[in-house]
Amino acid sequence: MRRAAVLTLALAALAVLAGCGAVGPADDGELGVENGYSYDDDLSVTTEDGLNGTELTAVKSRAMARLERLRGLEFTEDVPVRVITREQYRANATSTPNRTHQLWNNQVWEGLFLVGEDRNVSAVFDDLRGSTVQGYYSPGRDEIVIVSDSATPRLRRGTLVHELVHALQDQQFGLDESMDTQDRQLAHSAVVEGEANLLTARYQGRCDGEWSCVTVPGGGGGGGSLSNPGVFVVLYQPYASGPGFVAAIEGRGGWDAVDDLHEAYPASTEQVIHPERYPDDEPVDVSVPDRSSAAWDRFDHDPVADTVGEASVYAMLVANGVGETPPSRYSYSHPAADGWAGDALVPYRSGGEYGYVWETAWENPGEAREFHDAYRELLEKRGAVSRGDGVWVIPEGAFADAFRVTREGSRVRVVNAPTAGSLDGVHAE
């Protein structure tokens, strides 16, 4: 299946190697020792000018040994590390998605009021990647790539540790599985990124006490400000909510329970945001009947509908200033999103015009009413004018379109079209 496109750190096309760690055999069977370095070794490393290849190997190998002690799992092979500059990364990170998928995905993100008709979603993702990525692990190449501002890596300790966790996950469980919807992909990533962030935090905590740790001066973050903060709220959800979710599962059954997560990922971001709902509270299977006219067609795309999920609904509301401002932009708790039970967003097209049908399911009619009210508030904030009978029109701007918003019981349906007159063409009442 073709996954819903969100920011993915594992990229195939990479730039020329600027520096690397040597690759050697792993120390099978001995937790806490890797490539001859023990977890409690002191290292003689000069950090003022960054790390050369030998120093990087030493720092990396000791970090691997320490992660084995923290996680109780063995690296089965060494992990090569490549270093590229941010300029090289940006030059090679531009995505070239399938044209049909790109147009389909544009409607999904437009439906969330996060990317308007004046932008292409793929370009937004490229901009965010270029300014935020510090490093990544590539399952396809079994290597870590560090994005640095110099030929010798000046990296945050947490960046290397975080990506080493991904290498350990890949060696023990595999990381190549892809999900078919945006919501399931984010939920899957919440386990992968949540475990990495949780272990990185615990590693950093040991550096404040029992472990001697190397700090490279000038190790920096991304290369610029966020080009689309709203989209970033969606993409950051696995990193923000994931650690708490993984910690909650660990609290139930230790690391064995976390091992089991890699065989039974959460089914939705709802389960990640509310760990008590995992695994029993499964999302509702929402389908949208095709009521379009002969002039409108669904995309030849697998899947035909996307499920955006609670995290993306939250981002839509927060990015558009709907309701009370949460204490943290990355709390992922909003009263009009918390009752999410399922959704399906189906894009349509007619020649060069586009529309969509988005049906959402809620825990009960009260929760549906709350979302219905919040969505109408969003339309008003975007300058929409009511035409009666649930029809709204945004007359100008990047989201200029017509919308029909209806609620029936615990369901809310949004039909979008270029004009009020074409709403029935997309989805007849």
pLDDT tens across the length of the chain (429 residues): 333 333 332 222 222 222 333 344 454 568 999 999 999 999 988 877 777 888 889 999 999 999 999 999 999 999 999 888 888 888 877 667 789 999 999 999 999 999 999 999 999 998 888 777 888 999 989 999 988 776 665 667 899 999 999 999 999 999 977 899 999 999 999 999 999 999 999 999 999 889 999 876 655 455 456 889 999 999 999 999 999 999 999 999 999 999 999 999 999 999 999 999 999 999 999 999 999 999 999 999 999 999 999 999 999 999 999 999 899 999 999 999 999 999 999 999 999 999 999 999 999 999 999 999 999 999 999 999 999 999 999 999 999 999 999 999 999 999 999 999 999 999 998
Alpha helices in 208-334 (DSSP H): 229-261, 269-273, 309-319
Residue reference for tokens 């389960």: 271
pLDDT at 407: 98
**Are 39 and 66 contacting, i.e. CB atoms less than 8 angstroms apart?**
yes
pLDDT at 29: 66
End-to-end CA distance of the chain: 31
Alpha carbon of 83 to those of 75, 131, 221: distances in Å?
Answer: 21, 17, 15
Type of residue numbered 25: P
pLDDT at 22: 38
> Which strands make up the sheet holding 401-408, listed edge to edge?
297-298, 340-350, 353-362, 411-417, 401-408, 391-394, 385-388
In whole angstroms, what is the distance from residue 378 CA to residue 317 CA?
Answer: 7
pLDDT at 351: 95
Which residues 6+ apart lie within 8 Å of 414 measured at CB?
A: 111, 356, 357, 358, 359, 360, 375, 403, 404, 405
In whole angstroms, what is the distance from residue 195 CA to residue 88 CA?
Answer: 29
pLDDT at 24: 44
Domain edges within the chain: 33-272, 297-426
- What are phi and psi for residue 340, nearest 5 degrees? -60, 135
In whole angstroms, what is the distance from residue 266 CA to residue 281 CA?
Answer: 10
323's torsion region: left (phi>0), alpha (psi -120 to 50) or beta?
left
pLDDT at 2: 36
Q: Which helix (H) or strand (E) holds 201?
A: helix 182-207
pLDDT at 12: 24
In whole angstroms, what is the distance from residue 41 CA to residue 34 CA?
Answer: 11
